[in-house]
Chains A and B, each alone.
Chain A
Amino acid sequence: MAFAAKDTKLLWGRAAGICSNPHCRQKLTATGADGSSFLTGEMAHQIAQSPEGPRGTESGGDDTYENLILLCPTCHRTIDKAPVGTYPVELLKGWKKTHEDWVDGWAREGAYESAVEVAREVQRLLAENHAHFEEYGPRSRIAAENPASTVQSIWVARKLDTLLPNNRRIVSLMERHAKMMPASVVASFQRFKMHVQAFEDNQYERVDTYPLFPDEFPNEIAAVLA
């Protein structure tokens, strides 16, 4: 199947040649024993071309960048062979957006020269997440007063396009600059990291309990800035 060059370049470029499944992230390029490079990635349709295909619709999906997601062969096969509904289009769109945001964050993170600089950026990201959680989350005033509010759909969207990418940026920042940080910050960060992973896993399949947001983490970050 031949995809247009533009769509191919956009997809591979924005995914940085890495499987877009957040639980996989396998590199999709390899080097053979003879030193030559080859590709292992597959450009998967979110909506199948054929109405009878995986996640197919009446009109069928096209071959544009918007309808494609870059995956390793295993993940591609998994999403196509799983029972209908296991990997819906919205989930794949979320994977792609989250993955591309994660890649995009690499260029913006840069290297920080002090613990204060790192803490300032982490605090900003935590504050952004907290604001969305307070406004739209399950413990928001709206959720309490109107349990059936359609604002819940905004919460779902913000989780995918803001909270999850911000969480990953925080984890990446802290891991890259761990040596600058006081031990107490590093310790609370480990609990934050466990929460981030569990929170993200919970988006795909609920579990009845998981590590909640550690309240001491923002306090530890604030202490660095004090």
Chain B
Amino acid sequence: MTNGSNDYGVTFPQIRFVSQLLTRHGNVERFTRTNDIQFDLVTRRGSELRLICVNEYTCGFLRVLEVQEDFPELNIVYVGGSWNGYTMQAKEYCIKAQLGLFNATEINGALYRDDYWLYCRTDEKGNPIYPTRAS
């Protein structure tokens, strides 16, 4: 795996984390990486998804729009590690647009779902947990 460059401030260790996750993921048949942070993957059920790896401590609505503009046919925005998250405004937009928006604590579970954009972690009572509070 080679180190490239990107305009989103994503470092190689972060890209490598995503690559390793996809390599081991039980629902990812194969994937390719281009443009340094673009991952085009095929699930075991044959779905083709485009995942873009960014590094946003808090990914806002505007940032999602920027990623959409820079990477056509976008399916999932991965915002970064456990410390990172997103605003509720961004999440609500993505759910409506059927876009995935996840951090490191969510991406693994999301990729098992055909309706990945709806995936969220839940507490013991089944209530959704979103990383919309600072970590």
Binding site for B on A (CB under 8 A): 84-85, 88, 91, 137-138, 143-150, 152, 155-156, 159, 199, 202-209
Q: How many residues of B sit at the interface, in one of the four size bands?
A: 20 to 34
Contact indicator A152/B133 (Cβ below 8 Å): no
Contact indicator A144/B128 (Cβ below 8 Å): no
Contact indicator B133/A147 (Cβ below 8 Å): no
Contact indicator B87/A206 (Cβ below 8 Å): yes
- Measured CB to CB, the nearest residue on chain B to A208 is B60
Contact indicator B87/A207 (Cβ below 8 Å): yes
List the B side residues contacting A147 at CB < 8 Å.
13-14, 17, 80-84, 104
B68-105 interface with A by 8 A CB criterion: 80-88, 90, 104-105
Contact indicator A137/B86 (Cβ below 8 Å): no
- Measured CB to CB, the nearest residue on chain A to B89 is A208
- Measured CB to CB, the nearest residue on chain A to B82 is A152
Q: Is B132 an interface residue (CB 8 A)?
A: yes
List the B side residues contacting A202 at CB < 8 Å.
58, 134
Contact indicator B87/A203 (Cβ below 8 Å): no
Known: A144-B11, A208-B60, A208-B62. A203 touches B81 (CB 8 A): no
List the B side residues contacting A138 at CB < 8 Å.
57, 81, 83-84, 135
Contact of A206 among B14, B58, B127, B128 (CB under 8 A): B58
